[in-house]
């Protein structure tokens, strides 16, 4: 058997040329090499198959009629090894029907022998372009699976859903056989199998592997077993599958400095390694899965924090309800314990005024009036305390409130509490507002009371109440 090899150019397409006529095979190799192709030529189909197992080719150019292995049989055997390889057949004038059968078997085109260089170059170009389009379509379908996994990131799916989608996306990649996903177990020191697809033994379902130790054993075993035949890959480490003797690759799932697991793949064709281009796609898949796991972890942490916050809110609400209940009990206690003495004071004052008013000197009457007024203020204070304690427990009743009218009523109440002494309140423009009238009244009384108290030491103090517009909002003020 004769074999011809040409030089290698990284930018050129690689052609596998098979023809039992040695002179014709050598002429094709030399001619196509001058056109920029990288060629390897054989006169035996069996040797060509061995070469294809050792390295990849873009196109098979083979004679149809050959001894031992004919062109159609060689085509089918080559596609078993590399389904991406394109094929062009060479045939004589009398075998056109057989060439048509070869097209049905998967050949992209054929040329009639004898042929000129000008006739075969366009055929090769078309075949390689068709192969490129087919590979692009396959990559688009594989990218769709990765895109679906990426959507899981934005949807914040839980861990089990991400495992399921990751396995489905990995299983949809070309040349991938078994797929398994290992995640850290609850103890933090072992890896457990979260799921797998493809031809994997049942023992894989319950496997628990020590984190670190097993990975090191796999890698070291691979180095000893495969040696120099395995080139380093930026995407991952090639090694023999721990559950299956076929060549496989394992990729770490890491994001944000956190380890989420290992995504493992085995080749669907034991005689061929996963190609570098496919490794890059699988690496993208592993990185996408890592982002999805990181998002799920963040969502889970946020959900846990929200649950803790809700629990704390419920506890605080319960404490507040208990405090309100205690306040209500205290208010009723104040009502009972303080109102009775005040009623007695007011009653004795009333009796004293009725029976002894004429005999009491003017100074004594002033003292009596002060006692009477103080008891009245104390009664109003107790009533206000009871009213305020009830306001917080009543539902809001929002309605349109004429604010100027309500403010004048509050000022009048304050005048009564200050024995008729006018606090000097200047009321400006006050648009109506939408609020709970009872609560708003209490707010206004508190604001006015504080303003009066802190301006009491000034000469001729004035309190101004008004409103101003800030954009679409109205701001009310007391100053």
How far is residue 334's CA from residue 340's CA, in Å, rounded to a whole number?
A: 10
The reported pLDDT for the residue numbered 47 is 92
Dump pLDDT digits (tens) for 208-236: 555 454 444 444 444 443 333 333 433 33
Q: Between 120 and 223, whose confidence is greater?
A: 120
Dist. CA 295–CA 259, nearest whole Å: 13
Q: Which residue matches tokens 């001058």?
A: 34
The phi, psi pair for 401, rounded to 5°, reads -120, 120
Confidence bin at 162 (pLDDT 50/70/90): confident
According to the model, what pLDDT value does residue 39 have? 92
Strand partners, 359: none
Length, in residues, of the chain: 479
**Among residues 378, 364, 371, 336, which one has the least CA distance to residue 350?**
371
Which range is least confidently modeled, 54-63, 91-100, 248-257, 347-356?
Answer: 91-100
Mean pLDDT, range 430-449, rounded to an integer? 84
Domain ranges (residues) in the chain: 3-137, 140-292, 396-479
Angle CA(295)–CA(163)–CA(282) in degrees, nearest 5? 90
Predicted TM-score (pTM) above 0.75: no
Pick the CATH number of 396-479 from 3.40.630.30, 3.30.110.40, 3.40.50.720, 3.30.565.10: 3.30.565.10
**pLDDT tens-digit readout, 332-367:** 776 667 777 777 777 777 787 777 777 778 887 788
Which tens digit of pLDDT belongs to each residue from 289-337? Answer: 888 788 778 878 888 898 999 999 999 988 888 887 787 777 777 666 7
pLDDT, the chain, mean: 74
Distance CA 476, CA 53 (A): 85
Residue 271 is predicted with a pLDDT of 54
What is the average pLDDT across 238-249?
46
Please give the pLDDT value at position 268: 66
Between 262 and 13, whose confidence is greater?
13
- The CATH architecture assigned to 3-137 reads 3-Layer(aba) Sandwich (3.40)
Mean pLDDT of 147-152: 61
User: What's the confidence (pLDDT) of residue 144?
Assistant: 66
For the beta sheet containing 425-427, the strands, ordered from the edge strand earlier in sequence to the opposite edge, are 425-427, 463-470, 473-478
Termini Cα distance of the chain: 108
Q: Which CATH superfamily is domain 140-292 in?
A: GAF domain (3.30.450.40)
Six token digits for residue 432: 């109506």
């Amino acid at each position: 058997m004769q074999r011809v090899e040409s030089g290698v150019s990284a930018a050129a397409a690689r052609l596998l040329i098979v023809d039992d006529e040695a002179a014709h095979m050598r002429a094709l190799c030399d001619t196509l090499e001058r056109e920029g192709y990288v060629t390897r030529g054989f006169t035996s189909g069996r040797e060509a198959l061995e070469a294809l197992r050792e390295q990849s080719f873009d196109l098979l150019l083979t004679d149809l009629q050959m001894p031992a292995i004919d062109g159609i049989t060689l085509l089918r055997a080559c596609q078993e090894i590399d389904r991406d390889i394109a094929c062009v057949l060479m045939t004589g004038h009398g075998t056109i029907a057989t060439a048509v059968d070869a097209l049905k078997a998967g050949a992209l085109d054929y040329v009639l022998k004898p042929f000129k260089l000008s006739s075969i170059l366009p055929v090769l170009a078309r075949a390689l372009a068709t192969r490129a389009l087919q590979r692009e379509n396959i990559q688009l379908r594989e990218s769709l699976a990765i895109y679906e996994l990426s959507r899981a990131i934005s949807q914040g799916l839980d861990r089990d859903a991400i495992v399921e989608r990751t396995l489905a996306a990995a299983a949809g990649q070309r040349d991938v056989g078994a797929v398994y996903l290992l995640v850290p177990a609850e103890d933090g020191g072992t890896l457990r199998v979260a799921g797998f697809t493809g031809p994997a033994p049942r023992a894989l379902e319950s496997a628990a592997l020590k984190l670190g130790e097993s990975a090191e054993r796999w890698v070291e075993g691979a180095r000893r077993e495969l040696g120099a035949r395995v080139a380093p890959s930026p995407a991952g480490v090639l090694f023999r599958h721990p559950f299956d003797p076929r060549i496989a690759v394992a990729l770490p799932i890491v994001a944000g400095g956190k380890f989420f697991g290992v995504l493992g793949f085995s080749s669907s064709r034991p005689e061929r390694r996963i190609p570098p281009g496919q490794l890059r796609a699988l690496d993208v898949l592993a990185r996408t899965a890592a982002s999805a796991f990181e998002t799920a972890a963040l969502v889970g942490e946020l959900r846990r924090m929200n649950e803790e916050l809700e629990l704390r809110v419920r506890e605080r609400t319960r404490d507040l309800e208990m405090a309100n209940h205690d306040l209500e009990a205290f208010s009723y206690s104040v009502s009972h314990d303080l109102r009775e003495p005040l009623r007695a004071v007011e009653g004795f004052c009333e009796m004293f005024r009725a029976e002894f008013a004429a005999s009491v000197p003017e100074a004594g009457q002033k003292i009596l009036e002060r006692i009477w007024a103080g008891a009245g203020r104390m009664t109003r204070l107790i009533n206000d305390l009871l009213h305020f304690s009830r306001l917080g427990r009543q539902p809001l009743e929002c309605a349109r409130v004429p604010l100027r009218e309500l403010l004048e009523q509050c000022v009048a109440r304050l005048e009564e509490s200050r024995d008729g002494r006018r606090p000097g309140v200047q009321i400006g423009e006050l648009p109506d507002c939408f609020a709970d009238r009872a609560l708003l009244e209490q707010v206004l009384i508190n604001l006015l009371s504080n303003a009066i108290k802190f301006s009491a030491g000034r000469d001729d103090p004035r309190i101004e109440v008004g409103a101003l517009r800030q954009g679409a909002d109205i701001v009310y003020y007391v100053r």
